[in-house]
Amino acid sequence: MIVHIVLFRPKAGLTPDAWRGLAQAFSTALREIGSIKRAQIGRRTLHGRPYEQLMHENYTHVALLEFDDLAGLTSYLGHPTHEQLGAQFFACFEQALVYDFDTHDADHAVMSLLEGYP
């Protein structure tokens, strides 16, 4: 499974119309790009743990998209609807990080860690 992780902080004073535009672009991408297997969007939750103070940037939002494989992610990234989403996203964020991870089910991942697999 490939997980596409987008951490972001929206621009201060972003208008409701801009928020709606971003939401609509994301909704359209979910509907039109078949390689997206699962998607989640959320806001950062703070609950007083010490690690919260270690963060150099406060990314207030996250988008997590899952794909079966690298080909699915590549298909998503090259899709014209993703280009529209990207344009809307870049117009709305103040700060962002985007990472892609090749993940495995917990049992397999734990065993890989124990075996020293990077």
Contact 73, 35 (CB under 8 A): yes
pLDDT tens digits, 68-83: 999 999 999 999 999 9
Per-residue tokens: 19: 């928020």
Q: Which residues contact 14 (CB under 8 A, 6 or more apart)?
A: 92
Q: Where are the domains of the chain?
A: 2-47+57-114
Matching residue, tokens 């990207």: 86
Q: Is the dihedral of CA 16, 18, 23, 24 positive or negative?
A: positive
Is the pLDDT score of 112 beyond 80?
no
**What pTM, to 2 d.p., does this model score?**
0.87
Q: What is the pLDDT of residue 55?
A: 87
Using the predicted structure, report yes or no on whether residue 116 has a pLDDT greater than 70: no
**Architecture field, domain 2-47+57-114:** 2-Layer Sandwich (3.30)
Helix (H, G, I), strand (E, B) or coil at 8: strand
